[in-house]
Amino acid sequence: MSRNASFKELRDLLDAVDRRYHMAKDGYQFDFTTEISPFLDENKERVAQIGTIDTDFRFNPVTRQKMVEEFMELLMACHEKRFSVKLYKEKYKFINMWLAHVEREGLIE
């Protein structure tokens, strides 16, 4: 991907992660070769581009990096039934909160 990820793309990706996590929790077993690997390949660069979002006094470089790390972890962990619900919710809430901030402050289109 040669351009920066849009807010809608990041929001849609977070929704896709949530759907996949709930599928895994309901017992669906993702195939690594045909489902997990292509999903990761398609989306890890998009998540890494969060580091290019404009900053403000709250959404600083340290916060951006933490958001990238948390999102990357969810990209992988959402396929695993054993991933803790509590940990998933904490990470999801963190990413969701910062996406809302980015949108509210107009830091990304």
Domain boundaries, the chain: 7-104
Q: What values do phi and psi take at 82, rounded to 5?
A: -80, -5
Collapsing DSSP to helix, strand or coil, 6 comes out as coil
Torsion of CA 95, 103, 39, 25, to 10 degrees: 40
For the chain, the maximum distance between any two Cα atoms, rounded to a whole number of angstroms, is: 42
Architecture of domain 7-104: Up-down Bundle (1.20)
For residue 23, count other CB atoms closer than 10 A to its CB: 15
35-59 pLDDT, tens digit per residue, is: 999 999 999 999 999 988 888 989 9
CA 106/CA 18 separation, integer angstroms: 24
The pLDDT of residue 102: 92
Whether this prediction's pTM lies above 0.75 is answered by yes
